[in-house]
Chains A and B, each alone.
Chain A
Amino acid sequence: MQPSHLATPLATIEQLETSGSQLDGIPADLEDSVRFAGARLTQAAGILLRLPQEIVAQAIVVFTRFFLGPEGGSLAEYDTKNISASSLYIIAKMSAWPKSPRNVINVYTYLDSLSSTFIDIEELERKHDAEEYYVSEGTFQSQKAQLFAIEPHILRVLGFQLHVSLPYTLCITYLQALDVFNQPRASELAKRAIARLNDALLSPQLLYLTHQSPCLATAAIYLAAKEVGVKLPDVEWWEVFDTDREELGFLVVGMLSVANFALEEKGKWGKRKVPMTVEELEVELESRRASNSEE
């Protein structure tokens, strides 16, 4: 099958039903938390590495694919932050914006030094002691070896399927087709739509792995138009972009629920860190077991 810019490989029902992590006894809610934090970590690292959002989005999709399905990687076996770093490194390497292992490792070390996963902006802007995220030569060498060692694991689990079609440019094309750019609030509309697409990357419903880009782009436009108050044609315009009403409704609800999920996660973890390594995950599971037996 000739891959197209419009089509992206999607997860099978079997892959969505269970995962390597769940087979290893990791509760589904913890898996959701870790996956969400891992996707956010990838996004944050991508921003600090000054990578275009297309590259970051591809890396997040690859990261998410890795932990999916019974034959996917397990959180009990792979450090989440390593999978995130290698996904970003490998996607950047194949693109026109390759990043050196040194830059990738520096950025991940810095992000790791932050005191909590859901850190406040004020806390983030406070001047930190650079020693907290200094990478010594020895650490660098071992981290680099790790970065490289993970790459073939990702490629094996994905069967070298790194193709990701993204909805960003489609979204702009669709907005043009809808002839909204002569309206006063068009650029605000476009920004909201793109923001919705970025939200969807973090969705616990794995929207990018279950829906094709044309539908994602259409749903983001629909939602953004409602938010910004731009009037779109009074007909079933989404069908022009190959999205039916049912899928549109599902995606709109899915995109809207990301914010709620994020707030819940923030409330749940507070000042704590979401486990990003196998070791940290063990500690979390141990403390859950302890609190369960107390009750």
Chain B
Amino acid sequence: MAGASRWANIDDLESQRKKEKEEKKRLKQLKQQQAETEAEALRAKKEQEELDSRPAKKRKLSPSPENRSASASSGEKRKLLRFEAGGWGPCRNVSNFETLNHIEEGTYGWVSRAKETATGEVVALKKMKMEYAQDGFPVTALREIQLLQHSKHQHVINLREVVMGDQLDEVYLVMDFIEHDLKSLQEIMPEPFLASEVKTLLLQLTSALDFLHTHWILHRDLKTSNILLNNRGILKIADFGMARRTSDPPPPNLTQLVVTLWYRAPELLLGTTTYDFAIDMWSLGCIFGELLSKEPLLQGKNEVDELSKIFSLCGIPTDMSWPGFRRLPNARSLKLPRDVEQNAGSIIRTKFPFLTTAGCGLLSSLLALNPESRPTAQDVLAHPYFKEAPKPKSAALFPTFPSKAGGEKRRRASPHAPVRGGAAPGLGGKEIDFSGIFARRDEEQHGAGFTLRMG
């Protein structure tokens, strides 16, 4: 492209501009005419109607001033959308913050409560673990930061900024400080959450999950210790150390080393490498059960034990209920009892005697062995369970509790999220016999209202 054509183009632009101005004028006139005739027609119609309904009334013949101004404004300057995404600037130094106390150590970092010296604002400071450095700056840390930057939602923890230490491998996430996490909160609560409170928490959690899934983000480590709750009853999902973006169809060869054992979906335990949002929905089901009973629902000691706990709560998978599960890598080593009465729903019903039919329906659908049968976050939000009494409690009416995170270091009894780079666990290679799972089932009393435990 030579210089001459550049100016030729400017001239071209100029003449085009003139032409377009005229065109614009013409269009404007046309539009005005059109609007006027339309207004006229409308007026006539209205008058006709008025005439029909109230024939005795005096007819209004002069056009009203409102109609005039409406037709004149149609030719005004069009409003264009403006897009803004802020800018960038260098990371501040962590010395702007003063550590108050440590909160916890997670798989991918240490969290402490800190105060910004200049403003006195209290924040949560997460120091990222940087030890997986065979590829340079850990891609897990980059992903966590990017996904948090891309997840601005009322029920997702807010990442304020990223700061660095004097050494460039010290990276800290500065986040809003939230008083509680659901796990330690439940440890100090004398009674489980009320049904109305469980509904509110579940709705908030699901709305965040719906947001993430709509944005193609898999969380992959949902558990009560990663779910925070402030003293105003607002819940926030935290810890995106395991999260990643996905696609439809899901990318092949995803790592199965995700989600803390107690919240891990059966397809992951059976070794699938292609999975989707349903793994988060399974975790949601586990959290739902935990909120109801104040106890983690499926506390397996290892992968095999976790599977056996799942099967005893949710039933044994069959080719009917979960077509194709036998093709999963770890399914070959399973020996499953035949002709077991499929009573998954009723076991859940027995375990949660105070849960309504709709509630039981929701919980059993979230804990469906077949990932295809689990509802989406959208489905959950629309579930009748939330419509029936008791209604979800307003967040503002939530009780407040003394904050553990604001005080002492807490203990962590639940297992950690699996560590990246480890070997994918099989189920020990041996044949695993689950045929005894339902051995004493018939000794239990089945019923909607109560449970009778034997032994």
Contacts and interface: CB of A to CB of B under 8 A. Distances in A.
B135 A15 contact: no
B372 interface: no
A110 B171 CA distance: 34
A9 interface: yes
Interface string B61-96: 000000000000000001011111111111100000
A243 B136 contact: no
Nearest to A196: B1
Nearest to B173: A160
B136 A93 contact: yes
Contacts of B203: none
B143 interface: yes
B152 interface: yes
B97 to A, nearest CB: 16
Contacts of B150: 2-3, 163
A1 B87 CA distance: 11
B118 interface: no
* Size bin of chain B's contact surface: 35 or more
A212 B80 CA distance: 13
Contact of B9 (A11, A226, A243): A226
A226 B91 contact: no
B139 A93 contact: yes
B455 interface: no
A3 B13 contact: no
Contacts of A12: 87
Given A242-B81, A253-B10, A11 B142 contact: no
Nearest to B164: A156
Interface stretch (B17-25, B267-275, B390-398): B17-25
A8 B85 contact: yes
A94 B83 contact: no
Given A12-B87, A259-B1, A152 B168 contact: yes
Interface string B81-117: 1111111111100000000000000000000000000
A260 B136 contact: no
Which of A252, A256, A257, A259 is packed against the most chain B CB atoms within 10 Å? Answer: A256
B133 interface: yes
Contacts of A10: 85, 87
Contacts of B145: 160
A260 B85 contact: no
B162 A159 contact: yes
A248 to B, nearest CB: 9
A131 to B, nearest CB: 28
A226 B150 CA distance: 38
Nearest to B93: A156
Contacts, number: 130
A160 B85 contact: no
B161 interface: yes
Interface in A208-256: 212-214, 226, 234-236, 239, 242-245, 249, 252-253, 256
B85 A3 contact: yes
Contacts of B80: 239, 242-244
Nearest to A165: B85
A119 B108 CA distance: 47
Contact of B90 (A157, A234, A245): A157
B12 interface: yes
A257 B78 CA distance: 30
A11 to B, nearest CB: 7
Contact of B142 (A1, A94, A239): A94
A242 B82 CA distance: 7
Interface string B1-43: 1110110011011000100100110010000000000000000
A9 B88 contact: yes
A153 interface: yes
Nearest to A262: B1
A212 B86 contact: no
28 contacts: A1-B84, A2-B153, A3-B149, A8-B85, A9-B88, A71-B89, A71-B90, A89-B136, A94-B143, A94-B146, A147-B136, A153-B168, A155-B137, A155-B171, A156-B90, A157-B90, A159-B91, A160-B145, A163-B85, A163-B146, A226-B9, A236-B24, A239-B80, A253-B6, A256-B1, A256-B5, A260-B3, A260-B6
Given A2-B150, A3-B85, 20 more contacts: A1-B86, A2-B153, A4-B85, A158-B90, A159-B162, A161-B87, A162-B142, A163-B85, A163-B150, A226-B12, A234-B20, A235-B23, A235-B24, A239-B78, A239-B80, A242-B82, A243-B80, A256-B5, A256-B9, A260-B6
Interface of A: 1-4, 6-12, 15, 65, 71, 89-90, 93-94, 96, 98, 101, 147-148, 151-153, 155-163, 165, 212-214, 226, 234-236, 239, 242-245, 249, 252-253, 256-257, 259-260
10 closest A-B pairs by beta carbon, nearest first, are A161-B88, A7-B85, A152-B168, A148-B136, A7-B83, A259-B1, A2-B152, A151-B137, A242-B81, A242-B80
